[in-house]
Amino acid sequence: MAESNSTDFDLLWYLENLSDKEFQSFKKYLARKILDFKLPQVPLINLRATKEELANLLPISYEGQYIWNMLYSIFLMMRKEEHCMKIIGRRRRNQEACKALMRRKVTLRWENHTFGEFHYKFFCNVASDVFYVLQLAYDSTSCYSANDLNVFLIGDRASGKTMTINLAVMKWISGEMWQNMISYVVHLTSHEINQMTNSSLAELIAKDWPDGQAPIADILSDPKKLLFILEDVDNLRFELNVNEHALCSNSTQKVPIPILLVSLLKRQMAPGCWFLISSRPTREENIKMFLKTTDCYVTLQFSNEKRELYFHSFFNDHQRASTALMLVHDNEILTSLCRVANLCWITCTVLNRQMDKGHDPQHCCETPTDLHAHFLADALTSEARLTANQYHLGLLKRLCLLAAGGLFLSTLNFSGEDLRCVGFTEADVSVLQAVNILLPSSTHKDRYKFIHLNVQEFCAAIAFLMAVPNCLIPSGSREYKEKREQYCDFNRVFTFIFGLLNENRRKILETTFGCQLPMVESFRRYSVEYMKHLGRDQEKLTHHGSLFYCLFENQEEEFVKKVVNPLKEVTVYLQSNKDMMVSLYCLEYCCHLRTFKLSVQRIFEYKEPLVRPTASQMKSLVYWREICSLFCTMDTLWELHLFDSDLNDISERILSKALEHSSCKLRTLKLSYISTASGFEELLKALARNQSVIYLSLNCTSISLNMFSLLREILDKPTCQISHLRLVFCCLTEKCCSSLGRVLLLSPTLKQLDLCVNHLQNYGVLHVTFPLIFPTCQLEELYLSGCFFTNDICQYIAIVIATNETLRSLEIGSNSIEDAGMQLLCGGLRHPDCMLVNIGLEECMLTGACCESLASVLTTNKTLERLNILQNQLGDEGIVKLLESLILPDCVLQIIGLPLNNVSAETLRMVMTVKERKPDLVFLSETWSVKEGREIGVIPASQPGSVIPNSNLDYMFFKFPRMSTAMRMSNTASRQRL
């Protein structure tokens, strides 16, 4: 990139102002400086080079910053003060030019946030602690600073990241911050970077300078005084996992943008420079790979204290501020809403206007639907007009059309063409800007966006119920969409739709604009009928959090009852007080609930005893106590599945009290991936006093010997009713098995025991299986897959198979049984007293050598209906032997798992022959596709597991005639993802 045309950068001028003697000295100094700066030698630079030759040669041999740094150092040694002062003066002018440039850019961006002088002053005050951190971080003399420092500014949407950066830059420009620390600021946004493909560092720096002419040499002359601001790194369209060998150190070389950014972040370029990086919270590698332990990580969030300060600053009236705060604090939904500055402003604005009208905000502003409806109604009718109703209704319809079109086509920043497409005039846009509904985009030049995504989503919900026509806005047809514009989660839109089904909330809009929402009754009827349909197919209801939020937003008692009435099984993920409050509201209406699946994450993470719990922590415990009380008050609730949860000592004690209560009628208790303060001891003690639990599962939990001792005491009690016990992946060892064997020997109730994936080994398995040869053992199902035993123990298992009259199912897959062990097991299976119906032997290192014995089992055993030998290397010959027995009429097997993935065509034809002879016989195979399987009657042995959803309303797939194709496609894609 060329330097400024000023003579300040005319190298020949500096050389010509040297005498011949001085010029010869200059060249000698230059040769030494080239070595000092560790630059490559250029043979043509010698004592015979003229001033003009040297002036032409240096720029093509070295980068500008090295040239001028060498020149300044040489002139200093030569005591050429006028030359040094000229360079210093030039650098100062360029620093001031950079500040002027940034002042213009920041001022333009600052105008995007026009919520009044109060908002600006408030943000300056509350951001002072962030500025203090930024001041210390970039002070090289501070103990908080570090080499190659990156400061990460992390915050959710509209949390104030851009405003904080703007304020920091303005403070730098005015000399209030980073004085004598930062000389130049290079500001980059993800939107700007996403438009680039290849660039040099010089071009990147010069992008904001007039005509792209930037003083690159001066800017890069001292990288320790250069700050790069990189905004919205989570929105970059590419990954930054660049190979180290591809990095570049030449500031003038054009390279792909990812290489350029990584070279900067790794300090291959501009070594010693500083970075200020903003991002939304994300798990993306773009953040993690550059976050060092010495870096500074600042989280922006609207704390309770800041929210209170904001309310008092906004209202400037203690009584009004206190009334508004009380309303927000008593409602977790509104509390969460007011963690964002823009939404906090909307909330205060609405509450203030309602108080001005003499209304009680407690009754008219209970939900976000209330707030947004009042906000739109007041804002759009703030200017009186002759044809007010018609004009305002038209304005609302166009606004909703823009909102819905933007969400359906992943567009959150609208061009002037988009606005004209939906019918907005310049006067309309001015009105919407004046009332802060539409604002100029802070990231996209000459574009507009809604004040917050929530407002756009609320307008889209109105569009749906208003049945506005579909509109393909021009920006929606762009092939490339930035990450932040890609919209596929319509949860909040549906939540607002349900909120508008409430007559009182709907009237806020209908009365103000003189309109009706014609789709309301259709949506209401469809919702009820759809839930009845889903109630008959529980598998479609993967979780209920989003549905519960919709119903909480609605809060019409009769409607809520009708929707949740079919629910017999509910799954919720609790991650905040808000989740607990909403779930409690809906669960109280679930009159037929039998199974409750519950995950509690991040709510009770604090493990140490609380000296003085915060208000939020106290609320958490109150909500948790109410949820646990449901286990005692809901007569229909029989099953509790608590999974993937963290409980501290208090929350565990509350749960234990509920489980041991005499009114608790739970029959099934499943606990998996649970972390508790006491290691389950409190819960196990509670179970010792519970006489209703029949099915107990403690999967994926590390069970200590002390805990196992407590569990054994429970099982030994005469009042114990547990018939099914699952301890899968519980870190059990052979030390636990002797006491467990005693339980098996004497328990009159235990029918099923699952110990899969535990390190029992031969000794432990012997202790577990030995009691089964006695008639007092009533066990019917035993699961020992993945318990690390070998064929040495198979003779004892064979005795159990041959003599036990109650055992019906035995799973011993994923163990080293091998052919020798299989021979022993076949002896037991052929015994006339064998009563087994099912045996699992998948992945047991079997080969074709055992197939002859196994084939004889298939023709002699008259009880075995299911056999699984998948994931064994049986070969064609071994499988054929089994098929020859399967086809015989003496074989009573109904389901068999055979490894058919690598067999010959001839063997497959034989499988088809068996299927023709025995059409009811089912084959399982682990690798066959459904289509291939159907051709020969083979079905997959297992289906892929579904991922845990994160508040998606994917099952709410409403098909209304006026619903746009884009919404249907979005919801279909979401469902396929799960």
Sign of CA dihedral 274, 278, 284, 288: positive
Tell whether 278 and 131 lie within a shared domain: yes
Residues 547, 565: Cα–Cα separation, whole Å: 13
Q: What is the DSSP letter of 243?
A: -
What's the pLDDT at 362?
A: 86
* Structural domain count of the chain: 5
Tell whether 75 and 105 lie within a shared domain: no
Show the domain range for 133.
Answer: 101-236+251-301
Residues 13, 51: Cα–Cα separation, whole Å: 10
Whether 779 and 746 have beta carbons less than 8 Å apart is answered as no
Q: Is residue 25 part of a domain?
A: yes
Q: In which band, very low, low, confident or very high, does the pLDDT at 540 lie, cut at 50, 70 and 90? A: low
583-to-34, 547, 567, 616, 625 alpha-carbon distances in Å: 71, 10, 14, 17, 13
801-to-246, 753, 828, 846 alpha-carbon distances in Å: 64, 16, 5, 19
Residues 153, 156: Cα–Cα separation, whole Å: 10
Q: In which band, very low, low, confident or very high, does the pLDDT at 606 lie, cut at 50, 70 and 90? A: low
Give percent of the chain above pLDDT 70.
90
Q: In which band, very low, low, confident or very high, does the pLDDT at 932 lie, cut at 50, 70 and 90? A: very low
What's the pLDDT at 361?
A: 87
Q: Is residue 546 part of a domain?
A: no
Tell whether 135 and 182 lie within a shared domain: yes
745-to-313, 465, 722 alpha-carbon distances in Å: 73, 65, 15
The pTM assigned to this predicted structure is 0.83
SS (H, E, C) 368-399: HHHHHHHHHHHHHCCCCCCCHHHHHHHHHHHH
What's the pLDDT at 843?
A: 95
146-to-227, 287, 289, 292, 298 alpha-carbon distances in Å: 14, 18, 18, 10, 15
Whether 857 and 825 have beta carbons less than 8 Å apart is answered as no
Tell whether 781 and 866 lie within a shared domain: yes
Q: Is the pLDDT of residue 112 over 60?
A: no
Tell whether 71 and 115 lie within a shared domain: no
Q: Is the pLDDT of residue 126 over 50?
A: yes
Of 750, 785, 816, the residue at which a domain comes to its end is: 750
Tell whether 500 and 628 lie within a shared domain: no
Q: Is the pLDDT of residue 695 over 60?
A: yes
The per-residue pLDDT of the chain, averaged, comes to 86
Using the CB atoms, write b or e for 647-682: b if 16+ within 10 Å.
bbbbbbbbbbbbbbbeebbbbbbbbbebbbbbbbbb
Residue predicted with more confidence, 542 or 445 = 445
CA atoms within 13 A on the CB side of 925: 21
The whole-number average pLDDT for the span 594-618 is 80
Tell whether 700 and 820 lie within a shared domain: no
SS3 of 684, please?
A: helix
Instruction: Indicate the range of 204-208, 249-253, 439-443, 617-621 predicted with least confidence.
Output: 439-443
Q: Is the pLDDT of residue 956 over 60?
A: no
DSSP string, 574-607: E-SHHHHHHHHHHHTT-TT--EEEEEE-SSS---
E-strand ranges in 181-284 read 184-189, 198-199, 226-231, 255-256, 274-279
Q: Is residue 241 part of a domain?
A: no
What's the pLDDT at 528?
A: 85
327-357 confidence digits (pLDDT tens)? 999 899 999 898 888 899 999 999 999 999 9
SS3 of 169, please?
A: helix
Strand partners, 445: none
Q: Is residue 308 part of a domain?
A: no
Using the CB atoms, write b or e for 316-349: b if 16+ within 10 Å.
eeeebbebbbebbbebbbbbebbbbbbbbbbbbb
What's the pLDDT at 935?
A: 38
CATH of the domain at 164: 3.40.50.300
Tell whether 358 and 490 lie within a shared domain: yes
Residues 120, 99: Cα–Cα separation, whole Å: 21
Number of CB atoms found within 10 A of residue 475's CB: 22
Instruction: Indicate the range of 552-566, 605-619, 816-830, 963-977 predicted with least confidence.
Output: 963-977
Residues 711, 726: Cα–Cα separation, whole Å: 12
Residues 398, 466: Cα–Cα separation, whole Å: 12
What's the pLDDT at 108?
A: 58
Of 473, 492, 514, the residue at which a domain comes to its end is: 514
Q: Is residue 85 part of a domain?
A: no
The label of the residue with tokens 């005319």 reads: 10
Whether 825 and 850 have beta carbons less than 8 Å apart is answered as no
Instruction: Indicate the range of 257-261, 517-521, 637-641, 700-704 predicted with least confidence.
Output: 700-704
SS (H, E, C) 951-970: CCCCCCCCCCCCCCHHHHHH
Tell whether 721 and 794 lie within a shared domain: no
Nearest to 169 by CA among 119, 252, 114, 231: 231
Q: Is residue 951 part of a domain?
A: no
CATH of the domain at 574: 3.80.10.10
Tell whether 373 and 484 lie within a shared domain: yes
DSSP string, 803-862: H-SS--EEE--SSB-HHHHHHHHHHHHHSTT---SEEE-TTS--BGGGHHHHHHHHHH-S
What's the pLDDT at 942?
A: 45
Of 452, 480, 514, the residue at which a domain comes to its end is: 514
Residues 133, 142: Cα–Cα separation, whole Å: 11
SS3 of 235, please?
A: helix
Q: Is residue 332 part of a domain?
A: no
Tell whether 143 and 270 lie within a shared domain: yes
Q: In which band, very low, low, confident or very high, does the pLDDT at 457 lie, cut at 50, 70 and 90? A: very high
Q: Is the pLDDT of residue 760 over 50?
A: yes
- Token output for 17: 């102002």
Tell whether 74 and 145 lie within a shared domain: no
Q: Is the pLDDT of residue 752 over 70?
A: yes
Separation of first and last alpha carbons in the chain: 50
Q: Is the pLDDT of residue 683 over 60?
A: yes
Q: In which band, very low, low, confident or very high, does the pLDDT at 641 lie, cut at 50, 70 and 90? A: very high
Q: Is the pLDDT of residue 393 over 70?
A: yes
Q: Exposed, middle or buried: residue 307 (CB in 10 Å: 0-12, 13-18, 19+)?
A: buried
SS3 of 758, please?
A: coil
Q: Is residue 316 part of a domain?
A: no
483-511 confidence digits (pLDDT tens)? 888 888 899 999 999 999 999 999 999 99
Q: In which band, very low, low, confident or very high, does the pLDDT at 124 lie, cut at 50, 70 and 90? A: confident
What's the pLDDT at 285?
A: 67
268-289 confidence digits (pLDDT tens)? 999 999 999 999 887 666 677 7
